[in-house]
Amino acid sequence: MNTDLMIALPEITLFALASLVLIVDAFSKDPLHVWTYRLTQLSLLLTFALVITSTPDIAFNSSFISDAMSSTLKAFICGITFVVFLYSYEYLKENKSIKGEYFVLGLFAVLGMMIMASAYSLLSLYLGLELLSLSLYTMVAMQRNFDSASEAAMKYFILGALASGMLLYGISMIYGLTGQLQLHDIAVAIKSGSINHSYLVFGMIFLIIGMAFKLGAAPFHMWLPDVYQGAPTSVTLFISTAPKLAAFAMMMRILVDGLLPLMADWQSILMILAVLSMAVGNVIAIAQTNIKRMLAYSTIAHVGFLFLGLIAGTATGFSGSMFYIISYALMTMGCFGMVILLGRNDFEAEMLGDFKGLSERSPWFAFIMLCLMFSMAGVPPFLGFWSKWFVLKELVASGFVELAAVAVFFSIIGAFYYLRIIKLMYFDKATTMTAVKSSKQMRMVLSVNGLLILFLGLAPNALMALCLSALAG
């Protein structure tokens, strides 16, 4: 048991620290919740240190695993959440809406993500997912004085509960057929060939529906645009980044660790979801005037690309998907950071028109946004180009040439709405010359975020090697 507890030490530590932050915040009289914020960031740094020093092993009767993939994803989840909380604190402070519960719920959400990354049983996976989901539902609804936030939370909760039910039904089907909950044992049972194939596929479909909802893949995307637009920008920023890494981990655990013998079947389903997601996301995003809503449809399109690496069905293909989701999280974090930067106490810069003439108001941050938009569009030499190239290369190598061609076609369509923002910043007249004001810390971190997208694009081998060692080893 002691060995099991040591393997799960990062999660146990994070749970203890999140509880400590909750107690400190409950007794704090500071309206800015400075100590709550500092302890939250310290908790993430300590958890990050424990994750990168953890050793590979299996614990709790094969329900929990610490391996290269889980450690890499958990490290990025902690690092990305650290920056997200920094951006969020600036936003909440500027809007005079700081609540300590935001950071407490954020830490419990991170705990759920870490459990999902290390889950090696369908039950532990579901436990992590529900811990994450319940935290996110509450975070969306925190600003009760905004009708849009309450509406977004209601839609998210109802549709999320439906998706969780689908996932749980799929879990019950797979357990009923195989008699196993551990993913490795499920794979062995399926490989034996003694179970009716049609029933297995039926259960698998429900699992994929649940996972597709959590990622926001079409046609299970209906919650995404409304939640992104309706939730406070700090919450949208959080939802759009680290939880996507946890959702990718969930897909890898279920489809690769548990249902690999059914690969031909789930490849076919993922092909349909990928094409639908790329089509719906890229085409509808063109019509959007709200940047948060545009980035929501952009997310749907990127999820389609994420599936391509999984469809390839090889270890390097899976590594390509991991590279893609990490790149996406870094890019999205910067985009919402820019929205927060341009906002003020009485104003949210969430319309595309708010970016008009940004090159006149702030040439440096117009350049940062240019790096982010070019990367999102997949323009070389930015990081987004390599993430698309990686998955497309593996897709072609696996013989899915037509699907790769479809992906390139929709990627070209998608470039339009990213380049439109660059056009607004550099070629349109500014509607206001109000100075861009924010703390030095916010400016520095956002600048590093944008430049990282450029530098990782110029030298992508380190991140590629990290993903390959995590999954292809």
Q: What count of other Cβ atoms lies within 10 Å of the Cβ of residue 402? A: 10
Confidence of residue 431 (pLDDT cuts 50, 70, 90): confident
The whole-number pLDDT of residue 434 equals 72
* Three-state secondary structure call for residue 142: coil
User: What DSSP letter does each residue of 226-284 carry, written as one string?
Assistant: HHHHHS-HHHHHHHTSHHHHHHHHHHIIIIIIISGGGHHHHHHHHHHHHHHHHHHHHHH
Given a cut of 80, whether residue 437 has pLDDT beyond it is no
In sequence order, which residues have a C-beta less than 8 Å from that of residue 458 and are 6 or more positions away?
Answer: 381
Given a cut of 60, whether residue 1 has pLDDT beyond it is no
Confidence of residue 4 (pLDDT cuts 50, 70, 90): confident
Q: Which of 26-30, 93-97, 119-123, 351-355 has the highest mean pLDDT?
A: 119-123
Q: What residue numbers bound the domain in which 167 lies?
A: 2-471
CA 369, 337, 69, 402 torsion-angle sign? negative
Count how many domains the chain has.
1
Residue with tokens 């700081």: 98
Cis, bond preceding 363 (omega within 30 deg of 0)? no
The whole-number pLDDT of residue 2 equals 67
What's the CA gap between 244 and 300, in Å, rounded?
11
251-to-30, 189, 211 alpha-carbon distances in Å: 42, 19, 7
Confidence of residue 463 (pLDDT cuts 50, 70, 90): very high
> Could you tell me the end-to-end alpha-carbon distance of the chain, in angstroms, rounded to an integer?
29
Does residue 10 contact residue 114 with C-beta atoms inside 8 Å? yes
**Burial status of residue 432 (CB atoms within 10 A of its CB: 0-12, 13-18, 19 or more):** exposed
What's the CA gap between 411 and 203, in Å, rounded?
32
Q: What is the mean pLDDT of residues 144-160?
A: 83
What's the CA gap between 237 and 21, in Å, rounded?
21
Does residue 428 contact residue 420 with C-beta atoms inside 8 Å? no
The whole-number pLDDT of residue 203 equals 94
What's the CA gap between 18 and 44, in Å, rounded?
10
Mean pLDDT of the chain: 92
In sequence order, which residues have a C-beta less than 8 Å from that of residue 276 and are 6 or more positions away?
Answer: 217, 218, 219, 304
Does residue 268 contact residue 228 with C-beta atoms inside 8 Å? no
Given a cut of 90, whether residue 143 has pLDDT beyond it is no
39-to-17, 229, 444 alpha-carbon distances in Å: 8, 29, 21
Structure tokens of 428? 């349109």
Residue with tokens 């995003």: 285
What's the CA gap between 121 and 99, in Å, rounded?
35
Strand intervals (E) in 11-134: 57-59, 64-66
**Per residue in 263-279, pLDDT tens?**
999 999 999 999 999 99
Does residue 372 contact residue 456 with C-beta atoms inside 8 Å? no
Q: What is the mean pLDDT of residues 320-328?
A: 95
What's the CA gap between 134 and 132, in Å, rounded?
6
The whole-number pLDDT of residue 345 equals 63
Beta strand pairing call for 57-59 and 64-66:
antiparallel
Given a cut of 80, whether residue 349 has pLDDT beyond it is no
One-letter amino acid identity for 234?
A: S
Please give the biggest Cα pair distance in the chain. 71
Which is nearest to 308 in space by CA: 375, 371, 229, 378?
378
Cis, bond preceding 380 (omega within 30 deg of 0)? no
The whole-number pLDDT of residue 473 equals 53
The whole-number pLDDT of residue 350 equals 83
137-to-95, 142, 407 alpha-carbon distances in Å: 21, 9, 32
Name the pTM for this structure: 0.95
Given a cut of 80, whether residue 259 has pLDDT beyond it is yes
What's the CA gap between 152 and 149, in Å, rounded?
5
Q: What is the mean pLDDT of residues 145-172?
A: 88
Confidence of residue 148 (pLDDT cuts 50, 70, 90): confident
The whole-number pLDDT of residue 30 equals 86
Structure tokens of 121? 């049983």
Confidence of residue 193 (pLDDT cuts 50, 70, 90): confident
What's the CA gap between 386 and 375, in Å, rounded?
9
User: Between these two residues, 349 and 420, which has the higher pLDDT value?
Assistant: 420
DSSP state, residue 63:
T
